[in-house]
Structure 1
């Protein structure tokens, strides 16, 4: 499958055929959901609730890494945590059809959480603590870590190799990402060793859906090993929000408050990674359509300015 168009053959008919291959009966209703790294569809079924079909990006994760994600989700669900886990067909969660790898899960709707609500933040804190208690039972062997290589070195290589990035900005970009990398390394050393555990990895508000029964977590596609604070900081828009999250968290599990000093480093690494992700995926037709601003030199100029501001915060 050509890497330039990884989903060129993923037609609606192929999606329906993949669902039928599992012994399910689609009714023809398909809804493409908002996903860029993978392709995700809501598929209507005859006389049953719709399912979510996730087709994995070719070449991103190994089969072993995807199966670790699935096993973690099933382990969390078995611990009665509100996590959407993959469906099992003939003892398999990772399915194959016509060259694509995919998984199915039940459809669970919901709305965004209210991050202004202390009650909701405490609730999320309790659930994340329980998730981390399960995550601390074992380690991932195939899914990598929240670290400088993954979130700085690799994305920087993608940016510098991309025709998307203006050559006139190379020196300025190299300077600022070098500064970020040194400061992140210094912050990690200053904080010292922290316990790493299996994480959701991308626990931002879009991956938490709220219903009248409470919240549930979706999309463990970025699950990795890392510090507990990685699953907290993206839900806290200010100190009061973090206090509410930690109040809930501490009622279920101890939290090492030294990890709070990692937040500026994690924020800076995420910002570097975001630009590198766009650059690395620009060949996928979905990316120019979704991120047209990245084709403008002024966006990259602003990105460099933003990184300097992150570096200033780290200092």
Structure 2
């Protein structure tokens, strides 16, 4: 039996606090508050002067140092463009990205492997979730997306992936190679995903890409009555069509959210032009997100707590429901 060791299983509370204290020259209380995070590990911390922080440990192997530095540079560009973002804290030498090197035993090879964690520290942003209730709220959300894209349009080409049909195919191929899909569901999965790939490829052919937030939904906005809205979590920053940073704000499918989308675009076009052709991508991108999430789950299934949150993941009933959901979404795409 092959034993898989998930990287975050090696990250202990002492390692977390020691790494932060050494990198940033601060003294922390012995309290760590884990935050829910799909891919990375995020912790709330407090120093001995009662100042609060958020530490982010990036999943090893997901992004290179260069790619994370691109994220931090984009945050700096947005800040200089008066976009309400939360900047990572620099160390005494001005570096915002730190590294923790560990040696771990690999039972598969009976050898010691090096495990590298990149991490960053942010000031804690207090506030609450933002739920749009008025037309002005929806317009405000569109304005924020527009302000992100003012800087995104100027950003140099990223070394991260481009959100397109070929990235979708990469996720599909990875799921197939992992051998996770039951034989009785495989032909349906192949038919649906092949059709979705072709639709996304055709719909996206003439659409320009820019640097995006990539995961711009309302859960990544914090509202404070004194400071207003702040945008957080640029971990999924990538290149892609502008509409990716708009459709995630919607309360439902495109057909059910036309009024909200109209208001979002009203705010967006105060800052940026919008190509109406991109609207045909909304349901394609929803399909992309479903496959993206499946791929993420397949990568994290060896984490210690994964099956506590997803106890039925990967079983027969799971894949039946998954195929049904993908088929329904393919119909939304026009397939």
- Pairing 1:199-210 to 2, within 5 Å after superposition: 199-210=212-223
Which residue of structure 2 lines up, in the alignment, with residue 7 of structure 1? 8
Q: Deviations over 1:87-134 (max 9, x none)?
A: 111121110123421000110022222134322221121121111101
Which residue of structure 1 lines up, in the alignment, with residue 141 of structure 2? 124
Which residue of structure 2 lines up, in the alignment, with residue 108 of structure 1? 125
Query: Distance between the aligned counterparts of 1:241 and 1:225, measured in 2?
Result: 25
User: Deviation of residue 35 (structure 1)?
Assistant: 0.8
Q: Does 1:195 align with 2:208?
A: yes
Selected match of 1:72 from 74, 80, 83: 74
Selected match of 2:242 from 218, 222, 228: 228
Query: Distance between the aligned counterparts of 1:280 and 1:95, measured in 2?
Result: 24
- Pairing 1:230-245 to 2, within 5 Å after superposition: 230-237=244-251, 238-245=257-264
* Alpha carbons 1:164, 1:294 under 8 Å: kept: no
Query: Distance between the aligned counterparts of 1:195 and 1:160, measured in 2?
Result: 30
Query: Distance between the aligned counterparts of 2:155 and 2:58, measured in 1?
Result: 25
For structure 1, the residue ranges without an aligned partner over 5 or more in a row are: none
- Pairing 1:1-315 to 2, within 5 Å after superposition: 4-21=5-22, 22-89=24-91, 90-99=93-102, 100-150=117-167, 152-162=168-178, 164-189=180-205, 193-212=206-225, 213-237=227-251, 238-315=257-334
Query: Distance between the aligned counterparts of 2:294 and 2:132, measured in 1?
Result: 26
* Alpha carbons 1:200, 1:231 under 8 Å: kept: yes
* TM-score (norm. length: structure 1): 0.93
User: Deviation of residue 294 (structure 1)?
Assistant: 1.6
Q: Deviations over 1:214-269 (max 9, x none)?
A: 21111100001111111010101211111111111112222222211111111111
* Alpha carbons 2:221, 2:231 under 8 Å: kept: yes
How many corresponding residue pairs?
Answer: 310
User: Deviation of residue 5 (structure 1)?
Assistant: 1.5
Query: Distance between the aligned counterparts of 2:126 and 2:187, measured in 1?
Result: 46
User: Deviation of residue 61 (structure 1)?
Assistant: 0.5
* Alpha carbons 1:159, 1:276 under 8 Å: kept: yes
User: Deviation of residue 276 (structure 1)?
Assistant: 1.8
Q: Deviations over 1:171-199 (max 9, x none)?
A: 2211111121122222224xxx2221111
Structure 1 runs of 4+ with >4 Å offset: none
SS in 2 for 1:71: helix
SS in 2 for 1:235: coil
* Alpha carbons 2:9, 2:303 under 8 Å: kept: no
Query: Distance between the aligned counterparts of 1:246 and 1:273, measured in 2?
Result: 26
For structure 2, the residue ranges without an aligned partner over 5 or more in a row are: 103-116, 252-256
- 234-243 vs 156-165, which moves further: 156-165
CA root-mean-square deviation: 1.7
Query: Distance between the aligned counterparts of 2:83 and 2:156, measured in 1?
Result: 19
User: Deviation of residue 156 (structure 1)?
Assistant: 1.5
* Alpha carbons 1:139, 1:197 under 8 Å: kept: no
* Alpha carbons 2:43, 2:56 under 8 Å: kept: yes
